[in-house]
Amino acid sequence: MEHTRSKPDSDLASGSQATRKRGVSDLLNEAKDRDDATDISNEPPKTRRRVDRDKSPLKEHREQPSGAGSTEKAGQVGKNVVSQAPAFLSYPDPSNSKPKAIPFQQPSQLISFSYTPEHVQEFTDSALRYYVDPPLGSNLSYGYDRWVRKPDQRGRIDALLKAISNIKHDPKRGVGLPEIGVVSWRGVMTKILTAPYENRDGWELNVMSLNGTLYLEEHLTEDRLSEKNNMDARQRSQTYYGYAFESYCTSDAPPGRAPHNNPNPGAPPSWGGDVDTSVQWCSVVRTKLGDTRMIIGGEVDCVRGKYTGQTDTFVELKTSLTIRGQHDESKFERKLLKFYFQSFLLGVPEIVVGFRTPAGVVTTVQSFKTIQLPRLVRGKPGAWDPVLCLDWGYKFLTFLKDLVRSTAGDSDSSVWRVKFVPASGVSVEALDSKGIEDVVNGEDRVGFLPKWYWEEIRREEHARLPDEKVTPASKLANAGWQI
């Protein structure tokens, strides 16, 4: 679960409730009169639309002056990349843009894995949790003093690569993976797709290309890591509220069975156990944006009812301040953009939100269908548009792919740095040897890829016959998510 911190707002905005568009507050009021929390949508997706490739996004970039000069060695192993100044791609203007409808294939799970309390990855479902209804009035401060918090670390993709290697070498699967264009954690792809609407926080990305696949990892500086690991008391408590809500909403046993772990004596009703953020259950899915096949991994909070081995019963859990008026409603609707793509990218069909007081007491619990979130904001001033986000994401990935291929030469150990500038766009440049040394961080790596994986891919590449065809992707049951 990726938690969103909220702050109390100032006086509520004025305006006629009778004339404004139906919003989240109306939905919350109507929720008392219906019982559709378990109605997970299975409606068929709309027909896939053809991607317009007449214009390459690479042609749209402009170069910015660079004080660093040309690029030197671009890796521990491999040859020099082609020198060039940083390339720049502007964000689309959300208020004046006509995005193309880029198809997005419904995610299909490839594999799942768990992290143990020691944060050791294992290919089991030992950390899988099941959804239970949380009681209203739950105190989200409970258990705070026993919170076991895993420190934030560099955004490595090692666990995702181990999952990919496991898939490729599993004899039960019969065939390998199709040709993959992008490998990334879900959080990184969420940031990329929502970037046109981000006006406050910038961030950075490291990129490598190996055997035709782009690998993405978030670049966290030491200062940024220190900031994330040294939150003030208020930030820590608000972050904990989200984790505590997860505990109230989940059990380690399916519905109808007694939990395996007994909670602490005197624990409140429905408390699922003290919070330990080292323990996680993750899903790895394959999907497709336009003509770019992707493998994306991310944590899943729980499943509703039965785990089917696919994403159809996945549930994402969120907390947010109770909506007290139109101003609060507008703030929540802006939050829904990230809520939406965090779930959409992993194929999660349901998001359960616990609305709380500033003191951390749950007042309302509401279930939302992921594919219906855009309808709640459509037509409102400043509303976000998922079609624009997907169009931007496709242009960015195509721009990045074309740029890397045109500058990498024959090197497969080069690293590129992508900088996302709020309300502006992204710049991309190849790192020199000193920059790559910082990325490696003294570890056994080629760039940011673990050396064992880099060597594995190289062996596969050399073992493939010149006329050998890549395994085709099997046809999925649903060709696209409905927006």
Q: Is the pLDDT of residue 234 over 60?
A: yes
Per residue in 283-330, pLDDT (tens digit) is: 999 999 999 999 999 999 999 999 999 999 999 999 999 999 999 999
CA-CA distance, 135 to 475, in Å (whole number)?
42
Nearest Cα neighbor of 73 from 401, 436, 427, 402 is 436
Q: What is the pLDDT of residue 17?
A: 39
How many CA within 13 A on the CB side of residue 266?
Answer: 2
Q: Is the pLDDT of residue 406 over 90?
A: no
What would the two tokens of residue 70 be? 């040309």
Residue for token digits 């279930």?
A: 367
> For all residues of the chain together, what is the average pLDDT?
83
Mean pLDDT on 161-188: 88
446 DSSP β-pair partners: 449
Mean pLDDT on 31-41: 42
* Stated pTM of the model: 0.83
Q: What is the pLDDT of residue 252?
A: 93
Cα dihedral across residues 352, 357, 358, 359: positive or negative: negative
Cα dihedral across residues 163, 275, 334, 198: positive or negative: negative
Lowest mean pLDDT: which of 26-40, 176-190, 205-219, 246-260? 26-40
CA-CA distance, 451 to 447, in Å (whole number)?
9
CA-CA distance, 445 to 467, in Å (whole number)?
31
Residue for token digits 């505990």?
A: 247
- List the Cα angle 481/341/159 in 5-degree steps: 100
Q: Is the pLDDT of residue 475 over 80?
A: no
Query: Dihedral of the CA atoms 254, 260, 261, 262 (nearest 10)?
Result: 100
Q: What is the pLDDT of residue 36?
A: 41
Q: Is the pLDDT of residue 50 over 70?
A: no
CA-CA distance, 378 to 373, in Å (whole number)?
9
Q: Do 182 and 406 touch, CB atoms closer than 8 A? A: no
At residue 182 the predicted structure's pLDDT band, cuts being 50, 70 and 90, is: very high
Per residue in 120-138, pLDDT (tens digit) is: 999 999 999 999 999 999 9
417 DSSP β-pair partners: 206, 429
Q: What is the pLDDT of residue 478?
A: 47
Q: What is the pLDDT of residue 45?
A: 35
Q: Is the pLDDT of residue 392 over 50?
A: yes
Q: What is the pLDDT of residue 315?
A: 98
% of the chain at pLDDT higher than 90: 66
Q: What is the pLDDT of residue 21?
A: 52
At residue 172 the predicted structure's pLDDT band, cuts being 50, 70 and 90, is: confident
Nearest Cα neighbor of 43 from 341, 483, 337 is 483
Q: Is the pLDDT of residue 57 over 60?
A: no
The number of residues making up the chain comes to: 483
Q: What's the N-to-C CA distance of the chain in angstroms?
A: 22
Q: What is the pLDDT of residue 259?
A: 75
